[in-house]
Structure 1
Amino acid sequence: MNVPLTDQADADARARAGLLFGLAAYGLWGVMPIYFKLLKAVPSIDIVAHRIVWSLVVLVFLATMAKAWGQIGAAVRSRKTLPILFVTSVLIGTNWLLYVYAINSGHILAGSLGYYLNPLANILLGRFILKERLTRLQWAAVAIAAAGIAVLAAGALGTLWISLTLCFSFATYGLLRKIVHVESLAGLAIETALLFPIALGWLLLGGSEGRPMFGLGGQETALLISAGVVSTVPLLCFTAAARRLAYSTVGMLQFIAPTLQFLLAVAIYDEPFTWAHGIAFGCIWTALALYLGAMIRDRRASQQRECDEMAEA
């Protein structure tokens, strides 16, 4: 009799933790353009190389503190896990490079559109690959969000390749990280280690413009070194959220990051906010309200059914 209650309590605690991790990840990603704009003078590929090198330093420290080396060793020895992590390392490296390029080439809105497309991709992957069920109201939310994004896409054909590549790379990354049997810290450490030799070699050879490995000193050096923390923390939060929440729910939470990026682009970096953006915002946040409302309603109905069944027993 007590087992269902215990299982439900564990599931609820896991879902709450996943929600907090998700909010932290997308909130941090939402304000990340501020950080990369401070490094505008550094070529994008050099910034990403520093992200990889310093991320590995941070991850080695975290893995030691968390005593995660056993998990890392088991994942490396697994014939199923390591090939998937190789693919995810390529996906996240591509995503990082294109995201930094979008920000520092004046295309924050194009990058934001990619992350607006991403939740829809997550929801559809969750439905058709992971067989997660959606109610009619949730399908309606998806359709409304898609309509808003279509309005944005129609006015951004010239940079749509940026948006689509960001969407595809990160949606696929999240899906693979959800299904692979490795904890977030161990998986990210392996991914970063796979990219590390290429990144370090690039920097030792002088990067794309023969720049000093640690930047030109002062603020630039400090920002490049801090790239490890800036890159690692939100990604760890994301992978922790993806393992605890339905993938479709992760998809809806992701609207937080591009919304913050839109606000930064318009309010701070003077990118134009058009009527298409206004329509898209209205559609997307209406969809978010519908989706979350349906999710809360279904959870309450499920809990009520369990209570009724226990009372009858």
Structure 2
Amino acid sequence: MKTSDTVMGVTAIGGAAVIWGFSPVFYNALSHVPPLDVLAHRLIWSLVLFGFVLVVQGRLRAVRDAMGTGRTFGLMLLASVLVAVNWAIFIWAVQVGQTTQSSLGYYIYPLVAILLGRVLFAERLSTAQWVAVALVTGAVLVLVLGLGSVPTTALALAISFSLYGVVKKYISAGPVVSVTAEVMLMSPLAFALLWHSWHSGGAVFGGDATSAVLLILSGPVTAVPLILFSYGSKRLAMSTVGLLLYLNPTLQFSVAVFLFGELFTSWHMAAFALIWTALAIYSVSGLRQDRAARRALRAAPVSGTAV
């Protein structure tokens, strides 16, 4: 792979992670708007932007092909529901002052995905991965025992996004096309939510010009990082992508504690220490596996027929 491709890939993934990491600041500015209304605008305006991109690329028909019929359509619909649920939980969490939990959710998501891979696809886990999963489980137990409550928001975000990833394994369409199809499938719900808000006397566009602009910008805030992620992930090893994406929950955590002033107790500190340790173990293991695979690939004899 060319060095320029690597640099561009790192820049794209890093850009996506930074946008996601600071997105709580954006959604916090819309705290006066009901979270389901914000979700509706996010779905509608991201559909507009994704649609524009695909029209420019001449790939709009690919959306119809991606939805397919029967089982394929059912999988796409399930994916659209899961991503909408994940977005709704995240928006709600930021608005009610649980950004720390949202960051926790995206920290533990990779390890929940590992566990689902073992349970659903019989994927083998290395010793390091088992240790990482055990440490994250310990972190959740620390929060349960220390705070007297289950971190439901964090678990809901991690599990919904992990299940979304599971469903996406069965969808062959590329990320931009598939996400466009998903938000298109959810668009009737989005319009229904806004109609209900208007019919109930609510302000569909937030009640002022600033809110209206922010609601429209929720489209680019959603679509741009997904496009960057799609671009970067094609140019980097998955282990590199995974490491760079940890920037997202790290920034969310920093925003929650240092900007929003959310509560951060010694129990949170202990839990996050366990999670950061787990991620370090998991990341080192992933990098070693990636390097071993590359060495094996370079050492493999080249087969072919002489001409």
TM-score range, shorter chain: 0.7 to 0.9
Match of 2:174 among 178, 183, 189: 183
Q: Give 1:48-127 correspondences, 5 Å limit.
A: 48-127=39-118
- 1:32-88 Cα offsets, whole Å, 9 max, x none, are 110011111111111111111111111110111222223212113343321111011
Question: How far off is 1:210 after superposition?
Answer: 2.1
What residue identity is the alignment partner of 1:212?
A: A
Matched, 1:35 2:23: no
Superposition CA RMSD, Å? 3.3
Which position in structure 2 is the counterpart of 1:302?
A: 293
Which position in structure 1 is the counterpart of 2:135?
A: 144
Q: Give 1:260-279 correspondences, 5 Å limit.
A: 260-279=251-270
Could you state the TM-score of these two structures normalised by the residue count of structure 1? 0.82
Q: Specify the SS of the correspondent of 1:40.
A: coil
Larger mean Cα displacement after TM superposition, 202-211 or 118-127: 202-211
Question: How far off is 1:234 after superposition?
Answer: 2.9
Question: How far off is 1:97 after superposition?
Answer: 1.5
Instruction: Supply the distance in 2 between the matched residues of 1:81 and 1:300 (Cα, whole angstroms).
Output: 35
Instruction: Supply the distance in 1 between the matched residues of 2:117 and 2:239 (Cα, whole angstroms).
Output: 5
Unaligned runs of 5+ in 2: 303-307
Question: How far off is 1:291 after superposition?
Answer: 2.1
Match of 2:187 among 193, 196, 206: 196
Which position in structure 1 is the counterpart of 2:197?
A: 206
Unaligned runs of 5+ in 1: 1-8
1:203–1:300 CA distance, 2 compared to 1 (3 A): closer
Q: Specify the SS of the correspondent of 1:170.
A: helix
Could you state the TM-score of these two structures normalised by the residue count of structure 2? 0.83
User: Does the aligned pair in 2 maintain the 1:24–1:237 contact within 8 Å?
Assistant: yes
Number of matched pairs: 302
Larger mean Cα displacement after TM superposition, 16-25 or 107-116: 16-25
1:210–1:251 CA distance, 2 compared to 1 (3 A): farther
